[in-house]
Structure 1
Amino acid sequence: METSLKHTLYLLLEDQEGRDPRARWVRAFLVVLILLNVLAVIVETMEDVSQTYRHLFRSFEYFSVAIFTVEYAARLWVCSQCQSNGGGLGGRIRHALSPLMIVDLLAIIPFYIPFLLPVDLIFLRAIRLMRLLRVLKLGRYSDAVQVFFTVVRLKKEQLAVAGFGLAILLIIASSLMYYFEHEAQPAIFGSIPHAMWWAIITLTTVGYGDAYPVTGMGRFLASVIALLGIGMFALPAGILSAGFVEYGHMKEKEDEPSDSCPGDD
């Protein structure tokens, strides 16, 4: 009986081949519940609505946490049905540490933190806002999102190098601008960390206009940094584009279906 129930739950929650037609309804229900949770967090910030329907919001939160908690526990229980996870406690720990399972845990843990730890009102509000993390659970039910994260993993080294280069450019730009503009604008470029705000805004080509150079050398540096910023932020886009092409070629060469389980990538 237990084996039959575990296998049925596995087909409903984790089976990628869709061998149980009821799995589609389970997925649809969970997706709608996630979207409703995100909508509830947004609407709850409207004080008049929040006060009027406070009990309704609270009841919906209890219902959602109960469903997501049962889902998380059920996924841990049935993970032994997948051969790649293995059995026993070690297999469940490996499955619990997979990216999608960590996201599932983050979706429910903010609800339980106030019951486990003494928190003040400000921290409690921050914890409640963390419910927005439940939107990340949609990644489990979206093939496009999973493909994106797969591409990021394929190109993580190149992306890390690009991020490191961007950090170096940010430090150099803010340091030079501090020395060029500190005497002319001590209030705006009072330190290198203050100059970093200008560097970030310039590198991203946003340009709020609240901080800008007035000296000749400062303006020359700003021009160079603005041009470099365009290239630096185009670099990750090119890496990801190449990653998507590489992923497409990998999928074309696959002759046998993978025996990996959802959440283990």
Structure 2
Amino acid sequence: MNEPQTLRQKMACLFEGTGQYQRSGHILDIALISIIMINVVAIVIESIPSVAEQYYNEFLVLEIVSVTIFAVEYLARLWACIDKTKYMAIEGSNSKRRLKYFLSPLALIDLIAILPSLMMFLFPLDLRFLRVLRLLRVFKLTRYSRAMQLLLQAFMDEGSSLLAAFFIMAVVLILASCGIYLIEHDIQPDTFGSIPAAMWWAMATLTTVGYGDVVPITAMGKFFGGVITLLSMGMVAIPTGLLASSFSEQIRKRRQFFEDAVHEQIQDGTLNQAQHEHLEDLRYKLGLSKLEANKAIKTQLNQHNSHIYCRHCGKRP
């Protein structure tokens, strides 16, 4: 991206944390993270009736100030998004680019962070319900946590596989509920009197939670429950394995992307100041540690120099 000229371009660089705005963007992220954490703690403490009544005005002021900050941030991001590198590449009008950003997961999370409070001021709703919704504000941390972004990307990449795994689990849940209902409903009509009632036991068993409040008592029921428990161990491991594999793949891709960028920047076996700054910006965006970045740079420099100098005599060929 060229040197920012307009206010909108400067805002885009600030939100991206690139170039001369890297430090300012980092400070802004820390400030917003602090506000989010203060909000989460305040919402939790506010659930205590005596505290909520005694400090009602303080909680209200904190909520108004926080919502104002989050709303200004949301509108500023929506306004400046068209000058971000990702959205500048989209062909079409600025409205199309803003719509693309508006529908992005992070933008929707920002919107969810301010909607509950706006609803509180516009509609007479249950405050306990709104308090729970306001806790969704913690998901804004996804924007500032590289690990959370990796996890979100893993969910998106493995969406179809996860849906297939959950579909299989739903089928097994229904079969387990029907089976335990047929075996136990005559003996325990209060707990297994219907298939929907039996689903509670099936859910607790399939997720290997095993609350113990509903258990089969017949020999056949216990055998059937044991089979379902063994099956559940493999069933629960499927989505866990998918996410773990995708998470590792996301980290590998980011490291490989950074190594490729280093390879492109190396020309004469060294890196100048501008190239170092570019790679530092890229490292921050990818969420890599300085140790990983330095290791990649050192590896690429060694590989580049090994082709320039003879490994036997150390001279240029």
Q: Runs (4+) of structure 1 moved beyond 3 Å?
A: 15-20, 114-117, 256-259
1:116 is displaced (CA, Å) by 3.6
- Pairing of 1:201-216 with structure 2 (within 5 A): 201-216=204-219
The structure that has the greater radius of gyration is 2
Compute the displacement of 1:58 (Å).
Answer: 0.3
Q: Does 1:33 align with 2:24?
A: no
Three-state SS of the structure 1 residue aligned to 2:6 is helix
Q: CA deviation at 1:138?
A: 0.3
Q: TM-score, normalised by structure 1?
A: 0.90
Which consecutive unaligned segments of at least 5 residues does structure 2 have?
262-278, 286-317
- 1:106 and 2:104 are equivalent in the alignment: no
Name which structure has the greater RCO, CA cutoff 8 Å, separation 6+: 1
RMSD: 2.2
From 155, 160, 169, the equivalent of 2:158 is: 155
Deviations 1:114-168 (A, max 9, x none): 3444x34xx3420232110110000100001101111222222221111111111
**2:190 and 2:44 mapped to 1: Cα distance?**
37
**Identical positions, percent:** 40
CA spacing shift, 1:92–1:188, aligned 2, 3 Å = same
TM-score (norm 2): 0.75
Residue 246 and residue 151 in structure 1: after superposition, are their counterparts in 2 closer, same or farther (change >3 A)?
Answer: same
Do 1:201 and 1:207's aligned partners in 2 also have CA atoms closer than 8 Å?
yes
**Aligned partners of 2:256, 2:82: CA distance in 1, in Å?**
29
Q: Which stretch has the larger CA shift, 132-141 or 44-53?
A: 44-53
**Change in 2 beyond 3 A, CA 1:141/1:83:** closer
Any stretches of 5+ residues in structure 1 without a counterpart? none
1:183 pairs with 173, 182, 186, which one?
186
Q: Which residue of 2 aligns with 1:91?
A: 97
Deviation string, structure 1 residues 164-195 (Cα, Å, up to 9, x no partner): 11111100000111111111110001111100
Change in 2 beyond 3 A, CA 1:223/1:18: farther
For residue 78 of structure 1, report the CA deviation from its aligned partner: 0.3
> Deviations 1:18-61 (Å, cap 9, x if unpaired)?
74421111111100000000000000011221111110000000
Q: Distance in 1 between matches of 2:85 and 2:236?
A: 41
Opposite residue 237 of structure 1, the aligned amino acid is: T
Q: How does 1:107-256 map to 2 (within 5 A)?
A: 107-117=113-123, 119-120=124-125, 123-254=126-257, 255-256=260-261
